[in-house]
Amino acid sequence: MRRLITLVIVSLLAVATLAWAGQIEGKVKSVDQSDRTVTLEDGTRIVVPQGMDLNQLREGAEITVSYEEKDGQNQATNVQVK
């Protein structure tokens, strides 16, 4: 019985972790090079980590972003320009 309860708890934690990841599509409203933040027209802010190229992200570009929520911020894991 303890094994079953442990398995259920671990499963629930795994599902909760997955809920923090997401994907969004939108048009770039602005790019702040200094804090590596992209703002979409709907107001969503995405932090682009070091190592990802910001040069392709320009105002008006249509993008798809995969991200994870960390420390209250949406941090990009993948960015594709359409």
How do residues 61-70 score in pLDDT, each as one tens digit?
999 999 998 8
Indicate the burial class of 76 (C-beta count within 10 angstroms; 0-12, 13-18, 19 or more): buried
Which CATH architecture best describes the domain 21-81? Beta Barrel (2.40)
Asked if 46 and 76 count as a contact pair (C-beta separation under 8 A), the reply is yes
**25-80 per-position pLDDT tens digit:** 999 999 999 999 999 999 999 999 998 888 889 999 999 999 998 888 999 999 99
Q: Rounded CA gap, 47 and 36, in Å? A: 6
pTM for the predicted model, two decimal places:
0.73
At 18 the pLDDT is 47
Sorted by where each begins, the domain ranges of the chain are: 21-81
Rounded distance between C-alpha atoms, residue 1 and residue 55, angstroms: 55
